[in-house]
Amino acid sequence: AVAHGCTGKGNDQLRFDAVFRAMGLEVIAPMRELKFVRSEEIEYAKEKGIDVPVKKDTPWSIDENLWSRSIEGGRLEDPSFIPPEEIFAWTKSTEDAPDTPHLLKITFREGVPVALDGKLLDGTELIRKLNEIAGEHGVGRTDIIEDRVLGLKARENYEHPAATVLIKAHRDLEQLVLTRNELRFKEVVDARWSELVYQGLLLDPLYDDLNAFIDSTQKRVSGEVTVKLYKGSMQILGRSSEFALYREDWVSFDSGGGIDPMAADGFSKFHGLQARMCRTGR
């Protein structure tokens, strides 16, 4: 058997339950059985001598791991309430962030970030380091109304500095090396993959199927992306890859390489053909 402390309103209970039960384990969820509200949970912990880092006047529910930190509960449940700065631990406000931008080069190898500014780091170390750097510059805050699996709308605040930078940089590199068809289909795959993860359906066969496609596309996603971090913003400044499908000599207005102008003229006569037929009625 496996026990967890999730309540009956959140998503985590479903994520844990789905995985544990698929493994044939019995699930014990005392918080669901006791039906405590947050203030009662705090009082119960106090009675049992359990030290919890929340109070009745600041009953923030905080979860964190290497990838992100979530904050909810208390007055944050009012969607119009402006979050106090005290709830944030990983990111600085834009007002307190440094006045000087930070330029950073991220190296990817087959889709995986492996180095910062040329220094090789293992995955855990790289994410921790990037959390520090990007968080210092106020990058990676989200205040969102999300739809939980149970159908409830909930207000969530998140901190995810490294995730913000890596996802955006990774997508930019994909844009350089993947074909147009791959990119379009991967948008669909990424969305469905994210839904499965959000719902905790990691043991669904579709999850393995989607990963097989993603793994195949990442074989060429190797290169470097340069980013600028400044007061809550993250901007791509440049990218390079040995697998780039970009040809400067083909696309340049100062070069005659690439597409033959007369071939383009012939192609353009048929481009938008169906739209013209609809407009003219023939």
What's the number of domains the chain is made of? 3
Same domain as 150, residue 83 = yes
H/E stretch holding 63 reads strand 61-64
Mean pLDDT of the 102-113 span = 99
Same domain as 130, residue 51 = no
Within a domain: 149:
yes
Q: Are 233 and 104 in contact (CB under 8 A)?
A: no
Same domain as 98, residue 65 = yes
Distance, in Å, from the CA atom of 30 to the CA atom of 107, rounded to the nearest integer, reads 45
Q: Output helix, strand, coil percentages for the chain, rounded to the nearest 5.
A: 45, 20, 35
| Token pair in block for residue 85 | 């700065």
For 181-206, the pLDDT digits (tens) are 999 999 999 999 999 999 999 999 99
Q: Are 202 and 19 in contact (CB under 8 A)?
A: yes
Same domain as 171, residue 149 = yes
Same domain as 3, residue 90 = no
Same domain as 84, residue 137 = yes
pLDDT of residue 172: 99
Same domain as 77, residue 38 = no
Domain boundary among 56, 81, 98: 56
For 3-26, the pLDDT digits (tens) are 998 888 888 999 999 999 999 999
For 26-73, the pLDDT digits (tens) are 999 988 888 888 788 888 888 989 888 777 677 788 999 999 999 999
pLDDT higher than threshold 80 for residue 255:
no
Same domain as 231, residue 127 = yes
For 116-132, the pLDDT digits (tens) are 999 999 999 999 999 99
Q: Are 46 and 22 in contact (CB under 8 A)?
A: no
Within a domain: 238:
yes
Within a domain: 23:
yes
pLDDT of residue 256: 67
pLDDT higher than threshold 70 for residue 216:
yes
pLDDT higher than threshold 90 for residue 261:
no
Same domain as 114, residue 241 = yes
Within a domain: 28:
yes
Within a domain: 215:
no
Same domain as 65, residue 173 = yes
Distance, in Å, from the CA atom of 198 to the CA atom of 146, rounded to the nearest integer, reads 11
Rg (CA), the chain: 24
Entry pTM:
0.88
| Token pair in block for residue 209 | 């199927």
For 129-184, the pLDDT digits (tens) are 999 999 999 999 999 999 999 999 999 999 999 999 999 999 999 999 999 999 99
DSSP state at residue 125 = H
Neighbours of 260 (CB within 10 A): 10
Q: Are 154 and 13 in contact (CB under 8 A)?
A: no
Q: Domain of 281? A: 252-282
Mean pLDDT of the 86-95 span = 97
Largest separation between any pair of C-alpha atoms in the chain: 83
Distance, in Å, from the CA atom of 134 to the CA atom of 90, rounded to the nearest integer, reads 9
pLDDT of residue 105: 99
pLDDT of residue 181: 98
Within a domain: 206:
no
For 220-253, the pLDDT digits (tens) are 999 999 999 999 999 999 999 999 999 887 777 7
Within a domain: 67:
yes
Q: What is the mean pLDDT of the chain?
A: 93
Same domain as 157, residue 44 = no
Domain boundary among 35, 56, 77: 56
Distance, in Å, from the CA atom of 11 to the CA atom of 16, rounded to the nearest integer, reads 9
Within a domain: 205:
no
pLDDT of residue 282: 64
Helices (H), 150-243: 161-177, 180-199, 205-217
Q: In angstroms, how far is CA 183 from the centroid of its own chain?
A: 17
Same domain as 276, residue 260 = yes
Instruction: Return the closest-CA partner of residue 229 out of 63, 119, 92, 127.
Output: 92
